[in-house]
A and B are shown apart, each in its own frame.
Chain A
Amino acid sequence: MSDALLAITLVWGFIFLYAIMASMDFGAGFWAMTYIKKEETNATKIANSYLSPTWEVTNTFVVGLVIAIYSLFPGAVFTIGVALIVPASLILVLLCIRSAFLVFSHSVDKYEKALTYISGLTGLIIPGLLISVLPITHLGFVEGMRGNEELNLFKLFTSPNEYAFMGFGILSTLFLSSLLLSDYSKQADETKAYKIYRRDAMITGPLMLVMAMIVMITLKSEANWLYEGMMKNSALLLVSLVFFIISGVALYLPYFSKREVKGMPRIAVIAIIIQYLVGSYVYGIAHLPYIIYPNVTILSGFTDPTSFRAVFATYIVGFAILVPGFYYFWSIFMKDQRRKFKRRQMTN
Chain B
Amino acid sequence: MDHIQMARAMFGTNMAVHIIFATIGVGLPMMMLAAELMYQRTKDLQYVVMAKRWTKTLGVLLGVGIPTGTIAGVQLSLLWPGFMEVIGRVMALPFQIEIYAFMIEALFMSIYVYAAEKIKPWARVVSLFFVAFGAMASAVLISNVHAFEGTPAGFRFENGEIVDVDPWAAFFNPSFLVTAGHTALTAYTTGAFVVAAVAAYKMLKNKFGTSEFDFHQKALKLSIVLGLVFSFLTALNGHATTQHLYREQPEKLAAAEGLFETKDHAGLTLFGYTDKEAQEVKYGIEFPWVLSFLSGNSFDTVVTGLNDFPEEYWPPLYVHILFNAMVIIGSGLIALALFALVWNKWLKKDTYPRWVLWLFVAAGPLSVISIECGWIFACTGRQPWTIYRMLSTADSVTSYENLGFLFTMFILVYIILCVSVVFTLLYYFKRHSVMDDIYIAEQKDDRLFDSNS
Contacts and interface: CB of A to CB of B under 8 A. Distances in A.
Contacts of A57: 106
A318 B114 CA distance: 24
B99 interface: yes
Contacts of B81: 77-82
A78 B89 CA distance: 13
A56 B66 contact: yes
A106 interface: yes
Interface in B392-438: 398-400, 406, 409-410, 413, 416-417, 420-421, 423-425, 427-428
Interface string A60-95: 101110110111111101111110111011101101
B96 interface: yes
Interface in B209-227: none
A303 B155 CA distance: 13
Nearest to B423: A108
Contact of A62 (B74, B167, B427): B74
Given A56-B106, A100-B63, A107 B427 contact: yes
Contact of A326 (B62, B95, B107): B107
A291 to B, nearest CB: 13
A157 interface: no
Nearest to B401: A150
A148 interface: yes
A64 B410 contact: no
A75 B85 contact: yes
B107 A304 contact: no
Contacts, number: 199
Given A88-B78, A307-B165, A333 B110 contact: yes
Given A150-B399, A318-B100, A63 B69 contact: yes
- Identify the interface centre among B64, B96, B110, B398: most chain A CB within 10 Å of its CB: B96
Contact of B89 (A92, A111, A304): A304
A325 B100 CA distance: 12
A96 interface: yes
Contact of A104 (B63, B85, B100, B167): B63
A77 B77 contact: yes
Contact of A96 (B88, B398, B413): B413
The dominant DSSP class at the A interface is: helix
Interface string A148-163: 1110000000000000
A59 B66 contact: yes
Interface residues of A, number: 68
18 contacts: A67-B92, A70-B77, A70-B85, A71-B96, A77-B77, A77-B85, A80-B81, A89-B78, A89-B410, A92-B75, A93-B410, A102-B63, A103-B63, A107-B428, A304-B89, A314-B96, A321-B100, A322-B103
A56 B453 CA distance: 12
A67 B427 contact: no
B111 interface: yes
A204 B420 CA distance: 36
Contacts of A306: 165-167
Contacts of B423: 108
Contacts of B110: 53, 329, 333
A64 B110 CA distance: 20
Contacts of B66: 56, 59-60, 99
B87 interface: yes
Interface of A: 52-53, 56-57, 59-60, 62-64, 66-67, 69-75, 77-82, 84-86, 88-90, 92-93, 95-97, 99-104, 106-108, 110-111, 144, 147-150, 303-304, 306-307, 310-311, 314-315, 318, 321-322, 325-326, 329, 332-333, 336
B150 interface: no
Interface string B103-127: 1101100110011000000000000
A66 B77 contact: yes
Contacts of B327: none
B88 A303 contact: yes
B302 interface: no
B382 interface: no
A59 B70 contact: yes
B338 interface: no
Given A80-B77, A150-B400, A318-B99, A304 B71 contact: no
Contact of A63 (B73, B97, B167, B417): B73
B289 interface: no
Interface string B266-289: 000000000000000000000000
A66 B100 contact: no
Nearest to B110: A329
A106 B167 contact: no
A70 B88 contact: yes
B68 interface: yes
A318 B77 contact: no
B86 interface: yes
B85 A96 contact: no
A56 B427 CA distance: 23
B410 to A, nearest CB: 7
Contact of A307 (B78, B92, B410, B425): B92
A318 B428 contact: no
A102 to B, nearest CB: 8
Contact of B78 (A52, A81, A144): A81
B244 interface: no
A307 B167 CA distance: 6
Given A60-B102, A306-B167, A336-B114, A82 B97 contact: no
A96 B111 contact: no
Contacts of B88: 70-74, 77, 303, 307
B52 interface: no
A325 B63 CA distance: 23
A341 B90 CA distance: 49
Going nearest first, the 9 A-B pairs with the smallest beta carbon separation are A74-B88, A103-B63, A71-B92, A81-B81, A96-B67, A70-B88, A63-B73, A107-B428, A78-B81
Contacts of A150: 399-400
Contacts of B92: 67, 70-71, 74, 303, 307, 310-311
A144 B398 CA distance: 14
A81 B75 CA distance: 9
Nearest to A91: B74
Contacts of A63: 69-70, 73-74, 99
B59 interface: yes
Interface in B165-185: 165-168
Given A70-B87, A77-B84, A95-B70, A85 B417 contact: no
A333 B109 CA distance: 13
Contacts of A69: 77
Nearest to A92: B71
Nearest to B69: A63
A148 B62 CA distance: 37
Contacts of A149: 399
Contacts of B96: 67, 71, 311, 314-315, 318
